[in-house]
Structure 1
Amino acid sequence: MLLSHESPLLLPTELDSIHNYYEGMVFEALQQQLPEQFGNNEYIADIACVALNHLPPRYIRHDVDMAFYLSPNERQEMLEKVNQAVTKAIQFVNDSQQEYE
């Protein structure tokens, strides 16, 4: 019996290649905005989750695919959205941590 999320046509290795294109962009923005905190995995992961939840999903299999489909203007818009989402997420996580201290 197959569950609704199981497919006989896709192998696990094929599914492993699917990811949200914004993930890499968010981690790059975090590394630029918080280089001194980048080793603090829990803090960075919390911020990344908040930022990603404020961005539309862009699921792809290969990053190179996006290079062919994005115009320079679209890429710039995405970068601006990512930087705004990361900035807001940093503030949100910092404010939340202060509430619990």
Structure 2
Amino acid sequence: MNKNFPELHDFFGAYFHQDWTVEHETADQVIDGYLSESDEHHLQIVLTELCMLIAQKKEELALREYMLKELSCYYCYWNTWESGDSWLLHIARKLQERLDGSD
């Protein structure tokens, strides 16, 4: 488990595991599944940790390695997204939209 981002590790490890493509066709389907299954409290924690990770401004290759080795994320975002930051910001927006809609 990642000590700095335990909830983010749980999110990526549980939803973007090695076989995520067996369960979902797209990464957005994975995220949407998480959003539908999670309570507001956990969404907020994941969003906070995600923002903290983004704020670290890791170089792209370092971020890829960190995502795989430290956060257990097996989604190769670089095949679809311009950068890791752009993908992480996309996730953050989806989380925030869900939180804003659950008032």
TM-score by length of 1: 0.32
Over alpha carbons, which structure has the higher Rg?
1
